[in-house]
Amino acid sequence: MLMDRRCASLLVVDVQERLLPAIDDGAAVLDHCVWLVRVARELGVPVVLSEQYPQGLGPTATALQEAAGDAAVVYKTAFSCVADGSLSGTPVDARRQVVVTGTEAHVCVLQTALGLRWQGKEVFVVAEAVGSRKPADKELALARMRAHGIEVVSREMVAFEWMERCTAPEFRTVSRNFIR
């Protein structure tokens, strides 16, 4: 199964100011999330951001907010974005494919990805764009998601599958600005 931008959305889970410093290689996770958001916007893929209890964990990281522009932001107290219905009415709800990034891989990302999968969505988790405080927790989460039929992919897989071909109108722009 390939990712198709016509039926996909990008969900960035809980990449928040106060949580990010505790994430193993958090700066790289943030950079990869920003990269994916920018590619999604270039290719017309809708983006949704979630925030877990922002009063405690702060807002979405500033760089991500800036890249996301007017993307939908949903707020939650359940660890899963699906459990409390926060994705209702968003592009994630409306489209059959969801590319998921964010933190923490073994908590909110895992529970959200599994919830989306149980709803019948095609779910893709971007390995380098998810993080946990401990690397071992991230690896366990990725293994568990794979076991439940969730595709674990790289950010370049996302970009190239969304473009589909080198003749896509955006190929030169994406290639020049994002693929190095």
- Which residues span the domain enclosing 93? 5-178
| Mean pLDDT calculated for residue range 5-20 | 96
The average confidence (pLDDT) of the chain is 96
Q: What percent of the chain has pLDDT over 90?
A: 89
Q: What pLDDT, in 10s, does the model give residues 105-135?
A: 999 999 999 999 999 999 999 999 999 999 9
pLDDT at 175: 85
pLDDT at 113: 98
pLDDT at 177: 85
How far apart CA 157 and CA 140 sit, in angstroms, is 22
Say which CATH number the domain at 166 has: 3.40.50.850
Query: 47 Cβ partners below 8 Å, 6+ apart?
Result: 9, 10, 11, 12, 37, 40, 41, 68, 71, 72, 91
In this model, does residue 143 exceed pLDDT 80?
A: yes
Total domains in the fold of the chain:
1
